[in-house]
Amino acid sequence: MELPVFYAPEIREDAVSYTMNEDTSKYCIQVLRHEKGDTVLLADGRGNKYTTVITDDNRKKCVVQVSGREQMPAPSPALRIAIAFTKNASRIEWFLEKATEIGIQTIIPLVSARTEKEKIKAERLQNILVSAMLQSKQFYLPILEELQSFDKLVATNRDAQRFIAHCLPEQKIALEDVMEAGKDTIILIGPEGDFTSDEIKTALAAGFQPVSLGDTRLRTETAGMVAAVIMNIKS
């Protein structure tokens, strides 16, 4: 039987006991019916996996005693996706869930000329990342960065491999054929109306390589997920 994993963002690495917050306590004790004496795992989202035993099954303040801590290997190389958030919130939320499951480490909401969504509900999105991390049995929480402008990102990013996926009928290589293993990598995914040709020029001048994600026209969130899968298997 696999042990359940709960999120414990405030736990310290030297903790001997820990009190779950109210939401997590409720989920652990009331929903999943755990009791005093049960062994459960905690994830701090920073790579630590704590083995613990419930010592007080209070449904608002569940207390556990820590019996072990293991630092899981950090994902490497860094895989970052900068993506224009869709107007339809559920589409980008799906993307965040799937990118987390697949193992992407950083997501950057990108504000480009045609981005339709320039506000994000950070707390709601953070909860999606946490759920997907726990669901997929991972211990590193992806980083959701703050909104960033296309121009600033293109001018300042220094990842070893930099790609831009766009739909213009120009020469592009398939991402899976050009990406090299072992290098920190970022890819830019445009909004439904695509990047402008000026933006593409700016990115190419800054050293981004134009790539294709297949022969079909993909929605923004699908392009993001396809990129996540290819980056993960090629890294």
> Which residues contribute to the site for a second copy (CB under 8 A)?
94, 98, 101-103, 135-138, 174, 176, 214-219, 222, 225-226, 229-230, 232-233
Nearer to a second copy, 183 or 219 (CB): 219
CA distances from 65 to 9, 70, 175 (A): 16, 15, 47
Q: Is 119 exposed, middle or buried (0-12, 13-18, 19+ CB in 10 A)?
A: exposed
Measured from the CB atom, is 134 or 203 closer to a second copy?
134
Least Cβ distance, residue 103 to a second copy (angstroms):
5
The residue among 77 and 206 lying less far from a second copy, judged by its C-beta, is 77
Residue 59 CB, nearest approach to a second copy (Å): 26
The encoded tokens of residue 57 equal: 């099954």
Q: How far apart are the C-alpha atoms of 167 and 219, rounded to whole Å?
A: 11
Considering the complex, what minimum distance in angstroms separates the CB of residue 222 from a second copy? 5
Q: How far is the CB of 133 from a second copy (least distance, A)?
A: 9
Shortest reach from residue 224's CB to a second copy, in Å = 11
CB contact at 8 A, 187 and 210:
no
Secondary structure of residue 216 in the 3-state scheme: coil
Long-range pairs, 89-92, Cβ under 8 A, ≥24? 89/117, 89/121, 91/219, 91/220, 91/221, 92/117, 92/220, 92/221
Half-sphere exposure of 5 (CA within 13 A, CB side): 21
Nearest-approach distance from CB 166 to a second copy, in angstroms: 15
Q: Which residue, 164 or 228, has its beta carbon nearer to a second copy?
A: 228
Q: How far apart are CA 207 and CA 154, in angstroms?
A: 9
Write down the least CB distance from residue 43 to a second copy, Å: 13
Of 89 and 204, which CB lies nearer to a second copy in the complex structure?
89
CB nearer to a second copy: pick between 37 and 169: 169
Q: Which two tokens stand for residue 219?
A: 């929605």
Can you give the length of the chain in residues?
Answer: 235
Report the number of secondary-structure helices (H) and strands (E) in the chain.
7, 13
Nearer to a second copy, 49 or 98 (CB): 98
